[in-house]
Amino acid sequence: MEVRDILMTIFSALLAQNFVLYRIIGICPYVGVSRKLESSMGMGMAVIFVVTMAGAVTWCVQKYLLDPFNVSYLQTVAFILVIAALVQLVEMFLLKTSPTLYTALGIYLPLITTNCVVFAVAVLNIREGYSFLKAVIFSASAAAGFSLALMLMAGIREELELTGLPRSLRGFPIAFIVAALMAIAFMGFSGMRL
């Protein structure tokens, strides 16, 4: 794998084809956790860990377990089990090391298990025929792109709390308007080539 290919993979997953702002995947935690920058940073780090590890582990499960035994039809079940186990590890780690962050993330932390970004990245690694290294790079880049979008949204929403928004726009309405404008801005990256 050459350096240009690695850079294209990172750029594409991070900006040009961002899972939230380009592919419109993972909207629930994107809108739900993006109220405070601190909680979105914690969620972003958790997602980066889970998606990167899930990408690596599910690639191995597919190549060394499902494909050799010709049971690829069990891919969805196997991938969800791997993702659930990784999320449990993150939950236990956060509960022990940062109870305030664990509480701040609330219900959204266990929802990483069902976050379609995690599953989509794992499936795309297999569908695109990525090597192990490229799958890990793509997974980490896609998760970093999700985290970037999450933190940008949180920063904007924190600033919007200080403005005199009309009552009808407060909360989710302005969040969806901001998300749409951010998606339009990120579309500018789609035409760029390295």
Structural tokens at position 164 = 């005199």
Distance CA 44, CA 163 (A): 26
Alpha helix locations (H) across 62-131?
75-97, 99-105, 116-127
Residue 190 belongs to a domain: no
Residue 4 belongs to a domain: no
Q: Which residues form the domain of 124?
A: 9-183
Q: Give average pLDDT by consecutive 10-residue segment, the chain, 194 residues.
A: 89 92 87 84 86 95 96 95 89 88 77 83 96 97 95 92 88 91 91 65
Residue 134 belongs to a domain: yes
Residue 93 belongs to a domain: yes
What does the pLDDT read at residue 193? 60
Number of domains in the chain: 1
